[in-house]
Structure 1
Amino acid sequence: MSIAASEKSFLGQPRGLTVLFLTEMWEKFSFFGMRTLLVYYMTTTLLIEQGRASIIYGLYTAVIYLTPIFGGVLADRWLGRRRSVVFGASIMILGHFMMASEALFYPALAVIAIGNGLFLPNLPGQVAGLYKPDDPRRGSAYNIYYMGVNLGAFMAPLVCGAVGEIYGWHWGFALAGVGMAAGLAIYLLGGRYLPADPPRAARGEKVKGGGLDRASLWLFGGVILAVVVFRVAYEQVGNTLALWIGSDVDRSLGDWSIPMTWFQSLNPLLVFLLTPILVTAWDRSARKGRGMSSLARMATGAALVAGAFFGLALVVAVSGQGAVHWLWLAAFFLLLTSGELFILPVGLGLFGRLAPAQMTATMIAAWFLAAFAGNLLAGLVGSTWSAMSPSGYFALMGVVASVAVMLLCGLIRPFRKLEA
């Protein structure tokens, strides 16, 4: 059931989108606040060697995207989306505060992953319910929602990262828990603006409308494979790239050294700045009949990310043993973020748009399955960081992203009508 089109707020969208935007913003503040600190905490406080820390990081960020598969099914079959969000957020708050204890490090990661499984597929699953099927605003809704994701991701390293570096990692983890609590409060207070849960199918009951046809399944499978490959490169940002920033980047700005955790804010800041520009350009092209298909946009995004890594590899190779100035890193993030905006929110919107109404949470969870596999592989690949030169490693990531380009280009022609 959609919310009345007359209820508008941010950027002419329904008020419910503002509620979901702010809830997701604070959830991502908590997630990225903890993620920013995780590798540094493991290597400096828990004294875990780099290779093992990268594997733990990759395993955790992978499981974060595996548990939504089960959370999506639970929501569609039994709990409903709104109850799942509340339960999931509450469990994550507990896990973030558990991170303040070194003895509870591994149990805390498990608790956060469980709560995330209930939360992650069910919040974006409510976006489509805010609109009627023919509402022209649907096309940009997920990009605007993605701005909330990245506004939280932008604030997290600045706040949690700075507090963690200055006062201790445990205080940074505690702030992440406070952020999740703020998101839950906003969701509960704004519940009247959100769509009601669709009727839940009984166990074993077929989805009305026949569920997914074979063509849709092939499309989803192909996109998932491409995004898995893409994320192997993309997820190095919080892992090996973060380690390289701490050791081989000239972070000086006059007499001041920029905190290494702050660079994790560049990507989400650029998402927030570039999204309105890209959405406006895409809407204008669509009105003129020159809009790109979803798969073409995604292939373009993967190509931009490949270019970012190849460019960084060249800069590092030219610098030799010297430190790379942080402005080159900023240029890398500009290109990487531009590519991200062409692939991640577009792919999420594709899954949300093509999924049957009673399978929305499950299908969005399937989108996160790609993130699970990609993060797991990214962590395993990251464990080889110490065995390679930085320039060679970044060039390898460029090759990986290029494989994703080829996979996505191969999907464009066969599925042109289905995904347009």
Structure 2
Amino acid sequence: MTSATSPVTEKSWFGHPRGLTILFLTEMWEMFSFFGMRALLVYYMTKHLKLDQEYASLVYGVYAAFVYFTPVFGGMLADRWLGKGRSVVIGGSMMALGHFMMSSEALFYPALCMIALGNGLFLPSLASQIEGLYRAGDERSKSAYNIYYVGINLGGFLSPLVCGTLGEAYGWHWGFAAAGIGMLLSLVIYLAGRRYLPTEPALGAATREVRPPMDRTARERFGLLIGIAAIVVIFRGAYEQNGNTIALWADTGIDRTLARGWTIPMTWFQSINSLAVFALTPLLVARWARLARKGVVTPLLGRMSFGAAIVAVSYVALGLVAAWSEAHGTRASWIWLFVWFVVFTIGELYILPTGLALFGRMAPEGFRATSIATWFFAGFFGNLLAGALGTLWSSMGHGAFFVLIGGVSALSAVLLYMLNRRHSGAGQHGQTGSTTVLAR
């Protein structure tokens, strides 16, 4: 429990504080809007705005980078001045406006800026309210992040099916409008359910005076977390290709034809990731829990290294498939891409949610939103790297490109393994249950 909130545990829904359901639904619809727009973005730039692929990939990378950069300052504003509730409302309103601005070609770049800025206030402020729902020692808090993560991926699963289908079948602007409506629903749910969330004290000079100091131990914790984030930057350069060059390959590199000539919409493949999360998360969490009951230590940094290695293998295998298809002048079966997303998601569940669990649990008192926001700073540089790597898509064979991306992920796996060997104690935080948090 933080000093900024009071637990609300007197009544519950589904065995958890009612506020968790509000946060679950708020984040689900926010993710619906975010991933709905993202599923359309590269296609919109290359097919509607007629931008070169290299430039479109660079724009995508810069936008995605700032989506992870702005929470660093948004978390600070929430912790020190605005408060979490006000930050969620302001940020969500800005994001909704940005999605509707996407309907105008002239407002394309301002719309991207508006969404990124709003996200900076919204994202860390919403997730950081989870801890305040539970009293110290409440065992239910261990599974709270898992439930929250399901909400994230439920929105991510539905959005390509709805926004993507509308965009492909009826026009890109219809897809963007659907994303905007999703963001409005998120705001309505949050405002309607604020009475179930922890209350916050008035912020001001008096509040800042009682904030625990950033002592040596806290600085050492942040130093370790910054080191982890620096390595995750490299991993993100590979991971973020799933909405960039992977989306382009889904359009031009695979055979999406099913029985009777029906073609799978290219945006639908972006839903496989979230679908795999639903299926695989309970299995992985149950496995980690069984190991913990047997006394088997599973360091979180070790898990992260293993996850990066799995993603590396998935890209190398996809590169071999793409190279074979290019050599034979044909398109690969859509089944290959489906299988790739499943394996890719296994790696994701080992590294990204686990990494944020470390940032949330090692956060010094009074700096939880700031600490969570720091995790997203790795996404900023990682997406810039992903955008830069994406510019190579048109200048080299697709098979060779995917193998290169696999090498990038493998490098991050090696570095995480080395860090785990050096700081093995840090990897013991959060052995069970709460290793699945927010992963965007």
Q: Tell me the TM-score range normalised by the shorter chain.
A: over 0.9
Corresponding residue to 2:354 among 338, 346, 356? 346
| Structure 1 residue aligned with 2:371 | 363
1:179-194 aligned at under 5 Å gives the runs: 179-194=182-197
| Structure 1 residue aligned with 2:138 | 135
Stretches of structure 2 that go unaligned for 5 or more consecutive residues are 429-440
- Mark the CA change 1:396 to 1:199 in structure 2 (over 3 Å): closer, same or farther: farther
- Mark the CA change 1:201 to 1:399 in structure 2 (over 3 Å): closer, same or farther: farther
1:317 maps to a residue whose letter is A
* Cα RMSD for the two superposed structures: 1.8
1:120 CA displacement: 1.0
| Structure 1 residue aligned with 2:317 | 311
2:420 maps to a residue whose letter is I
| Structure 2 residue aligned with 1:31 | 34
- Mark the CA change 1:136 to 1:236 in structure 2 (over 3 Å): closer, same or farther: same
Q: Deviations over 1:238-293 (max 9, x none)?
A: 10111111001011111211011111111111112211222222222222222412
8 Å Cα contact 1:94-1:111 kept in structure 2? yes
Stretches of structure 1 that go unaligned for 5 or more consecutive residues are none
| Structure 2 residue aligned with 1:232 | 237
1:218 CA displacement: 2.6
1:206 CA displacement: 7.6
Corresponding residue to 1:375 among 369, 374, 383? 383
1:208 maps to a residue whose letter is P
- Are residues 1:196 and 2:199 paired? yes
Q: How many residues align?
A: 419
Whole-angstrom CA distance in 2 between matches of 1:201 and 1:135: 30
| Structure 2 residue aligned with 1:169 | 172
Whole-angstrom CA distance in 1 between matches of 2:74 and 2:165: 33
| Structure 2 residue aligned with 1:282 | 288
SS at match of 2:136: coil
Corresponding residue to 2:160 among 157, 161, 164? 157
- Are residues 1:293 and 2:294 paired? no
TM-score (norm 2): 0.91
The worse-fitting range, judged by mean Cα deviation, of 199-208 and 322-331 is 199-208
1:224 maps to a residue whose letter is A
SS at match of 1:120: helix
1:134 CA displacement: 2.3
- Are residues 1:418 and 2:426 paired? yes
- Mark the CA change 1:238 to 1:79 in structure 2 (over 3 Å): closer, same or farther: same
Whole-angstrom CA distance in 1 between matches of 2:199 and 2:357: 20
1:19 CA displacement: 1.3
8 Å Cα contact 2:8-2:197 kept in structure 1? no
Whole-angstrom CA distance in 2 between matches of 1:299 and 1:140: 23
8 Å Cα contact 1:128-1:353 kept in structure 2? no
Q: Deviations over 1:21-67 (max 9, x none)?
A: 11111001101111111111111111111111111110001111111
| Structure 1 residue aligned with 2:253 | 248
Corresponding residue to 1:401 among 392, 409, 413? 409
Whole-angstrom CA distance in 1 between matches of 2:392 and 2:201: 46
TM-score (norm 1): 0.95
| Structure 2 residue aligned with 1:325 | 333
Whole-angstrom CA distance in 2 between matches of 1:409 and 1:303: 10
